[in-house]
Each structure stands twice: as C-alpha cells, then as structure tokens.
Amino acid sequence: MAILANNNTRVLVQGITGTQASFHVRRSLDYGTKIVAGVTPGKGGTEHLGIPVFDSVAEAMQQTGANASVMFVPAPAVRGAAQEAIEAGLDLTVCIADGVPIQDMLEIRRMLKDSHTVLIGPNTPGIITPGEARLGIFPENIHRKGRIGVVSRSSTLTYEAVLEINRAEMGQSTVIGLGDDMVIGMDFIEALDRFADDDETDAIVLIGQLGGMFEEVAAEHYKNMNHKKPVIAFVPGNTVPFGHKMGYAGDIISDGKVSAQDKKDALSDAGMVVVDRISHIHGTLQKILS
Amino acid sequence: MNIHEYQAKKILNRYGIFIPRGKVAYTPNEAKRAAVHVSLRGPWMLKAQIQSGARERGFFIDSKSKKGGIRLVKRRRDIVREAEQMLGETLVTEQTGPAGKLVSRIYVEAFQKVRKKFYAGMVINRVVPALTLLIANIEDGGKDIMTKAVENPKQILKIKLDLKKGATLRQIEKVRRFLELNEPSRKHIATLIQSMHRAFIENDATMIEINPAGVTKRGRIIALDAKMSFDKNALYRHPEINRLQDDYEESSRELKAQKYGFQYSEFDDGNVGCIVNGDGIALAAMDFIKTKGLGACCFLNVKGGVDRDKIAAGIKIIMTNPKVEGILINILGGFLRCNLIAEGIIAAASEVGLNVPLVVRFEGTNKEVAKEILINSRLPLIIADTLEESVDKLIAAMEESE
C-alpha cells in the first residue's frame, strides 16, 4: 500500500536524456522503481539507459501503461511539461526543478483543479516509498521500510526526519517532500488525508517551514479530521534574526502571523505533538508508539 | 527582487495610475533643480530611495536632526539643506534592521493635497493559491496597517482576483463602498485596481503596494507611494526589470553569491559561518547554535549546486569573511552530491587557507566518498555525523583555538 507510489507504480521520466536525469534515473532503477518510459520531444523511438523514449507523455502512456511521471525538465519548461502530464491524465507527477516562475505555478494549479492528477513540487526531492519506488532525488540509502509517514516543506529537513525515524529503530511508509516554493502542488492537507487512509502508516512526521500559512491551514484541517493518526511536528526558525522586509502586504495576507512560534502554536492547539528540536523526534516517536 | 519607489511609480504610471510629478536626484543641487522642475512654488516632498517601508518613521544614523526619510519641505531655500541631511547618509527603519541602508538618491515630488487616504496592496495568497487584492482605510492619526492586520483582520478587505481577468465589476464596486468613495471616484478606483492587476501579471510581480493612495477633492486617485517586488525566477522574461536591480541594496558578498546561483545572508548575531544546502537545515542549525549560546554571522545556501568550481567560489565567500571564527558545513545531499562539496572545500581551502576551525557533516548522496576525500586531503578539519554533534564539535574547537 503506502501512499501515492509503490511497486505497482509505472513511472515515466519527462526530460530523461539530461545529465542529472540520467544520474537519478539510474539510481531509481537500481532501487527497483518501475521506470517504463522516458519522454524527450524529438528523441522518440530511441532508447536511453535501456528505457524506450517517446515524443509525448500521451504516447508513452499508451505504449507502456505509465501512470506517474517525474519531471527533470528545467524551470522554464515546467509549465508545458506539467500541462502535458495533466492533459494526458497521469495520476501523479513530481516536479524536481528549482526556480519555476510563480505565475506558471498559479496556472498549473488552475489546470490541476479540473483534473485528478496530483502534482508534488516544484523544488522538491520528490516522493519515496522505501523498498518500492523512488520518484525524485532522495538519497535512497538512508531510508528504511516501516510504518511512519513523512511530509515536509523543507527538503533538507526531510532527510533529518528520516534519520530520526531510523534512530527510533523504525522506518518510513512513504516520504513526501512538498517543496518550498511560493506556490506548490500537493499540500499538508492532502498528505494527512492520504496517510490517515493508509493501513501501512501508524504515525506521521510533519516538517513545516517559514512563509505562507500552510501549517495553520493544516492544523485547522487536522482538528476536524474524523479519524486521525498521531502527528509529530517540527518547524525551524525560532531564532531567525532580522531579515530585510519590503512593505506590509506579505504580512497582512497572513494576519501578521509569520513566526515559527505562531505555526507551532497552531499545530499544537490542533493536537499534534510539536518538538522544539529535530533531534527530539526519535524519542517522541518511541514514547507515542510504545 | 525589489525596486525603488520612483521606479515602481514610473511602471504603474505606464499602466494608467496617476502619480505626483517627480524627479530623482543624486546630489543636493540636483534636488534643488528637480524641485523647480516638478513644482514652481512647492511645497515639495523629499523621499529617500531605499527599498524599505516605514521610511517616514525612520531615523538617520549619526544625525542631529530627528527627521526621517520622508520630508515635507515648504520653502525652496530649504531644499538643499534637507537633501544634504539625507544623501550619503544611512537610514534605519523598522524594516531595514539596525544596520540601515545607505541613501544614494532621493525622489523630489510635488506635494499633493488629498482629502482621503487608503491602502492598496496586491499579493499572492500562497495557500489558496490566488492573486489577492488588499484594501484598507487610513485615518489620520489612526492605527497603522500592521496593527489592523493583527488586531482586527476584518478591517482589511481581501479580494481573490482571477489571474487573467483581474477584478470583476462587482468586486470593484465592493471596494468603492468599503472605502466610501463617491461617484466621481468610481472610474478612478476601477482604473487603479485593473492597472495594478495588469502591472502585476505582465511583469511577473510578487507584490505591489500603494501605501498610501490619495483621493483628491475632485475624486482622482493618486499613488502617493509605491512599492513593487518581482519574481526572481521570472526575471529571464523581463530584462528591462532585471536592469533595475540596485547593487547598493546588496552587500558585495551577497552579489557574489547570487552570481553563482547561491543565496547568502549576513546577520549581526555571532561569529559562526554556516554553509548549508537548504533553508530548513539552515534555520534548524541556527536554532541549535543559539541554544548553545553562540550565533551565526553568515549563511551560504548552495541549494542544489552541481558545479565544483562554483561551490569552491561560494565557500571562499564564507572563508574570507573576517567576522567568521568558525565554519559549520551541513550538507544533506539529494540532488546535490556530497563529494562535490568535499572537492569544493579542498579547492577553496588550498586557495585562501583554512585559518579557523571547520566542521563538516555530510549525509545522503555520495556521503562516504565525500568523507574519504576530506580525510585524504589532510586538511585540519573535523568530521561529524549529526547536526548536533557538528555544532558541539565546532564550539569545542573554537574554544580551543581562542
């Protein structure tokens, strides 16, 4: 089971022939991920790393039965690649690129509204279900199969969370990096819902980030969930020194609630266990699940 | 990326928003000429051009006068003296931090009398996500906009706009009623909102703020101040905006880091230099350093860098910062491979020397290879396995080297 990706997920790679794509596709294949197709316009009919390459996502889906994709295309090409993935009707698409223009993401979000596709990212390490599928750039060797779900807005702290779960002598069901851009696809709410429905997940580690009100909204949702699982949450940035600001609009839109403490308070009020240090996760996990 | 008030006003004016007559000046004499050019008899507004809000309530470092960065000048003969007090001086506001910002130019405007003021902002609400219009009344002597936002968010009208079409007629009417604008202002408020929307969309802006907008006796709406920020990821489609970037606003180290695609920030907080590959790990490291009684003075985020030479150049930025008394490197490799960082450390150290304790912690992609590279280099650096261990080891080494 796990969520969103497992060993039945048939993955196609958009922009498969690039250097970085090749490096990570090889690793994902070694990990056992079912990568069935690549898409690079103009290179249809060729093979790359032993995988058939097609000109379009639709063609690759038809020929190989792919149902998910990883985009390794550069930021300016993301809008087009996402549109292709959404229009072709993939269940899941993961966008690795850093630097996608915000308006492009707003347009992508509008396309997603009328489709069933789930988009993870951009600017994310992706999603990994240990022992089954790696869609993205996760350092796969640190992951262990287990029953803790991870969802994080911070890429680097996702890895810290995974190491903490390992320290607790537990493992991960699925690990999702939501990405840390201004506008993202999947959010905490969807991840919490999916983990709640997954019978291979016992508890969730949630890592927040400064900026936006994603944590506040997630807290409100968690409070109202009918059947929920324990969540351990961490938000860095308690001691963040003064950063230069420009105007007030950014603070007004979040009702002046912008600090890590505001987020932690919201998560804690909703019934999540908030830890002050990332290294407290393993002990807290052991306590909660014993 | 931010631009100055006078640049933002020029852009908004191109989209049909009224602005007072104004001219930029770099010297006190230029200010005097600019004043005559924009209005014969005055009064005039002299406005320090730094990229920050709350300039009026700010103060100049080492200045006898308590006046801020926005000044109303009634007599022409006072202009040179007032301009002298601002140009070349450092202005501190609640948004600049204690170091303040150097005023290299001022904007000289014809004073505009208005009978009412209001706040108009446009920003992206990330969670929805949606382009959002923010409107609030400004009463003379009343609460400032942030106090309202925190105490009673209902005092600020927030309207979701369609990305492509902007505000509907109904939404515009809602704004007009909220602001209690009368009939003659009807078409002007519509122009203001639609022009802000077009300027936002066509330039890949992330924020427009008109604080305040003024309503004249005849109902015209004028932008008395303006701020615009742009999406740095979209600057490639707007070379004309990219050119407006003001290098005075960034430190030379920040500029250098940007050139390599990295992000560099400085703080007045301590003497640890940190090299990381993400915001999350940067903040978590900073939180932890603080619990140990130390502080970070600079951060370099090499993001997903994959070029060894660029990484070396980035590391040199930290190594050559004279405030740095210890360096902490925390890399959690995914896309970024740890071995490239290891090679970058060695290249940088061999060029500028390693004079302060350096602790490295690697996790993730190619971690073992990277550790081996460092050990074989015989550089006097310390290797750690966890974030907390790396901080503890650095503190011990810094105490020892004192």
Q: Rounded to an integer, what distance in angstroms lies between the CA atom of residue B95 and that of residue B5?
A: 15
CATH 3.30.930.10 for domain A143-289, yes or no, is no
**Cα A234 to Cα A225: distance, rounded to the nearest angstrom:** 20
Residue A94 distance to chain B (closest CA, Å): 14
Cα gap A71→A75, rounded to integer Å: 10
How many angstroms away from the CA of A63 is the closest CA of chain B?
Answer: 30
Looking up tokens 């508890």 gives A203
Polymer length of chain B: 402
Q: What are the boundaries of each domain within chain B? A: 21-110, 116-241, 251-401
Q: How many CB pairs under 8 A join A and B?
A: 203
Supply the pLDDT for residue A244. Answer: 63
Q: How many CB atoms lie within 10 A of CB A41?
A: 15
Chain B residue with the nearest C-alpha to that of A108: B129
Q: Which of B127, B290, B333 has the CB atom closest to A213's CB atom?
A: B127
Q: What tokens appear for A258 in the block?
A: 């912008």
Q: Do A110 and B204 touch (CB under 8 A)?
A: no
pLDDT digits (tens, 9 = 90+) for B51-61: 998 999 999 99
Encode pLDDT of B17-36 as tens digits: 999 999 999 999 999 999 99
Overall average pLDDT of the B98-107 stretch: 92
Mean pLDDT of B68-85: 96
Q: Which of A102, A138, A255 sits opposite B150 (nearest CB)?
A: A255
Who among A212, A239, A253 is closest to B287 (CB)? Answer: A239
- Helix (H) / strand (E) element for B206: namely strand B205-215
pLDDT number for residue B330: 92
Query: Across the interface, do B227 and A213 touch by the CB < 8 Å criterion?
Result: no
Better-scored residue on pLDDT, B149 or A191: A191
CA distance A109 to A93: 13
Residue found under tokens 């990484």: B311
pLDDT at B252: 82
Say whether B280 and A153 touch across the interface (CB within 8 A): yes
Q: Nearest CA to CA, how far is A6 from chain B (Å)?
A: 20
Give the pLDDT score at B324: 93
Specify the pLDDT at position B386. 92
CATH fold of B116-241 reads D-amino Acid Aminotransferase; Chain A, domain 1 (3.30.470)
Query: Residue B307 in 3-state DSSP?
Result: coil
Asked if B204 lies within 8 A of A102 by C-beta distance, the reply is yes
Alpha-helical regions (H) of chain A: 19-31, 57-64, 78-88, 102-113, 155-167, 188-197, 214-223, 249-252, 260-269, 281-289
pLDDT at A48: 96
**A-chain residues within 8 Å CB-CB of B131?**
106
Instruction: Say if residue A242's pLDDT is above 60.
Output: no
Name which residue leads in pLDDT, B255 or A72.
Answer: A72
pLDDT tens profile A121-177: 999 999 999 999 999 999 998 999 999 999 999 989 999 999 999 999 999 999 999
Q: What pLDDT is stored for residue A241 in this prediction?
A: 57
pLDDT tens profile B165-205: 999 999 999 999 999 999 999 999 999 999 999 999 999 99
Whole-number pLDDT of residue B337: 85
Chain A hits for B211, CB-CB cut-off 8 Å, are 247-248
- Please tell me which residue of chain A has the smallest CA distance to B51: A246
pLDDT reported for residue A246: 75
- Contact (CB<8Å) B153/A96: no
B65: confidence class by pLDDT, cuts 50, 70, 90: confident
Gap between the Cα atoms of B316 and B254, Å rounded: 13
pLDDT digits (tens, 9 = 90+) for A3-60: 999 999 999 999 999 988 999 999 999 999 999 999 999 999 999 999 999 999 999 9
Please tell me the class of the B21-110 domain.
Answer: alpha beta
Query: Average pLDDT in the B368-395 region?
Result: 93
Name every chain B residue with its beta carbon within 8 A of the beta carbon of A135: none
CB contact under 8 A, B209 and A249: yes
> pLDDT tens, B287-323?
899 898 888 888 899 887 767 888 888 888 998 888 9
How many Å lie between the alpha carbon of B83 and the closest alpha carbon of chain A?
23
What superfamily would CATH give domain A11-120?
NAD(P)-binding Rossmann-like Domain (3.40.50.720)
Which of B208, B276, B304 is nearest residue A98 as measured by Cβ atoms?
B304
Three-state DSSP string of A84-122: HHHHHCCCEEEECCCCCCHHHHHHHHHHHHCCCCEEECC
- Please name the residues in contact with A188: beta carbons below 8 A apart, sequence gap of 6 or more: A151, A178, A206, A214, A215, A217, A218, A221
User: CA nearest B285 in A: which residue?
Assistant: A236
| Contact between B121 and A217 using a beta-carbon 8 Å cutoff | no
Q: What is the mean pLDDT of chain A?
A: 94
User: CA nearest B257: which of B225, B300, B222, B296?
Assistant: B300
Query: Hey, are the CB atoms on B207 and A250 less than 8 Å from each other?
Result: yes
Check A246 against B2: CB less than 8 A apart.
yes
Q: What is the pTM of this model?
A: 0.92
- Tell me: pLDDT of A1 over 70: no
Q: Could you tell me the CA-to-CA distances from B350 to A65, B314, B339, B344 in Å, in that order?
A: 53, 14, 17, 10
CA A115 to chain centre: 19
Cross-chain Cβ contact B126/A213 below 8 Å = yes
Chain A residues within an 8 Å CB radius of B145:
248, 252
Question: Given an 8 Å threshold on Cβ–Cβ distance, is B280 in contact with A109?
Answer: no
Would you state the pLDDT for residue B278?
A: 87
ipTM greater than 0.85: yes
User: For residue B263, with 0-12 CB atoms within 10 Å meaning exposed, 13-18 middle and 19 or more buried, which class applies?
Assistant: middle
B41 Cα to chain A: minimum distance (Å): 32
Q: Which residues of B are catalytic?
A: 119, 209
Give the pLDDT confidence score for residue A248 in this predicted structure: 83
Of the residues A252, A274, A279, A281, the best mutation for testing chain B's interface (the one with the most B CB atoms within 10 Å of its CB) is A252
What pLDDT does B29 receive?
96
Residue ranges of chain A assigned to CATH 3.40.50.720: 11-120
Closest CA relative to residue B201, chosen from B227, B175, B238: B238
The stretches of B203-265 forming alpha helices (DSSP H) are 239-242, 252-259
DSSP B18: B
Measured CA to CA, the distance from residue A109 to residue A112 in angstroms comes to 5
Average pLDDT value for residue range A173-187: 96
Chain B residue numbers touching A156 (CB-CB < 8 A): 276-281, 332
Instruction: Find out whether B331 and B276 touch, Cβ atoms under 8 Å.
Output: yes
Quote the CA–CA distance of B52 and B90 in Å, as a whole number.
13
User: Among B52, B279, B386, whose Cβ lies nearest the Cβ of A154?
Assistant: B279
All residues of chain A having their beta carbon less than 8 Å from the beta carbon of residue B291 are: 277
> What pLDDT does A255 receive?
78
Would you say residue B257 has pLDDT above 90?
A: no
Mean pLDDT of B105-126: 96
| pLDDT tens digits, one per residue of A65-114 | 999 999 999 999 999 999 999 999 999 999 999 999 999 999 999 999 99
The verdict on a CB contact (< 8 Å) between A163 and B386 is yes
* Fold designation for B251-401: Rossmann fold (3.40.50)
Q: What percent of chain A has pLDDT over 90?
A: 87
**What was the pLDDT predicted at A64?**
97
* Beta carbons of B332 and B277 less than 8 angstroms apart: yes
**Cα–Cα–Cα angle for B6, B7, B10, rounded to 5 degrees:** 85
Q: Which has the closest alpha carbon to B250: B69, B49, B101? A: B101
Q: Let me know if the fold of B116-241 is the same as that of B251-401.
A: no
Which of A139, A238, A252 lies closest to B121 in CB terms?
A: A252
Query: Alpha-carbon distance B323 to B356, whole Å?
Result: 11
Domain with CATH 3.40.50.261 in chain A: 143-289
Q: Shortest CB distance from B280 goes to which of A75, A207, A212?
A: A207
Count of positions (residues) in chain A: 290
* Residue of B237, B41, B201, B26 lying closest to B124 (CA atoms): B201
Residue A125 with chain B: CB contacts under 8 Å: 334-335
